[in-house]
Structure 1
Amino acid sequence: MAENGASAREAAYTEGVPCWVDAQLADVEAGKRFYGELFGWTFGESYGGTVWAYHDGEPVAGLAHKPDGRLPTVWTVYFATPDAEALSRRILAAGGQIVTAPIPVGELGVAALAADPEGAVFGLWQPGTHQGFGQRHEPGSFARVELYARDPEAAGAFYEGLFTDALVGPDAEPDFGRAPLTEVFPAEMPPHFLVHFRVEDCDAALGTVNRLGGRAQAGPFDTAYGTVGMASDDQGASFAVLQR
């Protein structure tokens, strides 16, 4: 990572800005095949067996093996913070939960998992040598994350209380939005974050998802921030594709 690139990322990823995503998968090799073809990603090993995905040579996501088959197969978004311990205390004070306490990830940084008062799980990332996305808002990389909540107004108050930059990201891009759980989702679906990846053609991306053994779940449909399609990969991890 070039020094000027690292300093730019450090300045961009202020507290509350989505800075990284990873998928917990039963079969990482299958994940590499699926997402490699869907988004044009290449892959390299990172810390502790986690695989990093690259687009145009820049890190855009992580794929990790689930340590326990009973754990959900999911994409998780991580919000930047200069102090994961302090933010964890604020989350608890605001009525959230700490799922996994802050733990060092080698020299890369410190990671933690938390949940908001409705149970939506998200990550915290305190950077070390790894600041976050090397590329975003471009085809094949992170575009935004949407929180689907039973009470979007209460959820908004929770995150606004934690993060000054939570609802509008850097570079004038709306990185974080919120919406109510609707009939698009199964009745038993809990509140959750849905990671969106930018694509050139939403219809074509959903077609590729189906061809690769995944499932196009909804869309394409138009939103205020672009055309969206909801999908799951061939292992059941849900995500969205976004065409601006």
Structure 2
Amino acid sequence: MPTRENAPLGAPCWIDLFTSDPDASRAFYADLLGWTADEPNEEFGGYFNFRLGEAMIAGGMRNSEPDKVPDMWNVYLAVADAEATTAAAAAAGAPVFVPAMAVGTLGSMAVIADPGGASIGIWQPGEHKGFGVLAEPGAPAWFELHTNAYDTVRPFYSSVFGWDLTTMSDEPSFRYSTLGQGDGALAGVMDSKVLPDGEPDHWAIYFNVADADASAARIVELGGKVLQGPDDTPFGRLLVATDPTGAPFRLVQ
């Protein structure tokens, strides 16, 4: 299984799960995606890591206030300087949820919201470089911002994170841009007019699977829900689901 040593600056480099039931979540993703879970690290507030084989693939932490914040997956972008990036985001009008802070010798992090309100993490790698496998079965395969502020978030990500955006489609019914292009694309931005009314801006994570239909059946058996699909698309066979605590995620075959 090929590994990745470092993420390009500006690209998604890490994901973690905010869950009201860590034990249930650990069991669910272990069964569905073949992950193992490290024991919670009390030094870092009970944070734990998922692994795919020997490679770290994602993190997880307890959501102690699920009545205020729903369970969800979070995406972090790689930066050279977390403090400077957070300052640039704040200067551009972004709310700062978690100010830049060192996480031991692992790196430095922050959490902000983009102009559409989608939460996005910032990660300056230290010893922890991010997920070690990409686009293999069980690993993250694609990262996609669904936004109602398409025309505003594009220049925001370009100025704050150095994104070079390529317009893939600019039809009124489907506007979509990518960070990079072709096989080298690293993330996408989609105008949410094609999504259900009232859905808040958010980052969606797609995990690669060998068999989307078998995975859909297993999600239900494990207590999750399949919300859409599996459907054939030009990009693979896709489905939208939630885990047993309601955190949404997507699969792609």
Q: Does structure 1 conserve the Cα–Cα contact (< 8 Å) formed by 2:146 and 2:203?
A: yes
Partner of 2:113 in structure 1? 115
Match of 2:92 among 88, 91, 94: 94
Larger displacement relative to structure 2 (170-179 or 229-238): 170-179
Q: State the TM-score, normalizing by the size of structure 2.
A: 0.85
Partner of 1:239 in structure 2? 249
Partner of 2:37 in structure 1? 43
Work out whether 1:197 is the aligned partner of 2:191.
no
Q: State the TM-score, normalizing by the size of structure 1.
A: 0.88
Work out whether 1:217 is the aligned partner of 2:227.
yes
Q: Displacement of 1:193 after TM fit?
A: 0.5
Larger displacement relative to structure 2 (63-72 or 233-242): 63-72
Structure-2 separation of matches of 1:200 and 1:79:
26
Q: Please report the RMSD computed on the Cα atoms of aligned residues, expressed in angstroms.
A: 2.1
1:76 alignment partner, SS class: strand
- The amino acid of 1:33's aligned partner reads A
1:204 alignment partner, SS class: helix
Partner of 1:129 in structure 2? 127
Change (3 A) 1:131 1:33: same
* Structure 1 gap segments, 5+ residues each: none
Q: Does structure 2 conserve the Cα–Cα contact (< 8 Å) formed by 1:17 and 1:170?
A: no
Partner of 1:174 in structure 2? 185
Q: Deviations over 1:189-233 (max 9, x none)?
A: 211101111111122212211111111111223444322211110
Q: Deviations over 1:162-190 (max 9, x none)?
A: 233464369944321111224653x3321
Q: Does structure 2 conserve the Cα–Cα contact (< 8 Å) formed by 1:143 and 1:175?
A: no
Q: Displacement of 1:128 after TM fit?
A: 1.2
Change (3 A) 1:17 1:169: farther
- The amino acid of 2:189's aligned partner reads R
Change (3 A) 1:170 1:55: farther
Work out whether 1:66 is the aligned partner of 2:63.
yes
Structure-2 separation of matches of 1:29 and 1:53:
12
- The amino acid of 1:51's aligned partner reads F
Q: Deviations over 1:94-146 (max 9, x none)?
A: 23221110122222111111110110001000111100011111010111111
Aligned residues: 234
Partner of 2:49 in structure 1? 52
1:193 alignment partner, SS class: strand
Partner of 1:79 in structure 2? 77
Identity %: 34
Work out whether 1:18 is the aligned partner of 2:18.
no
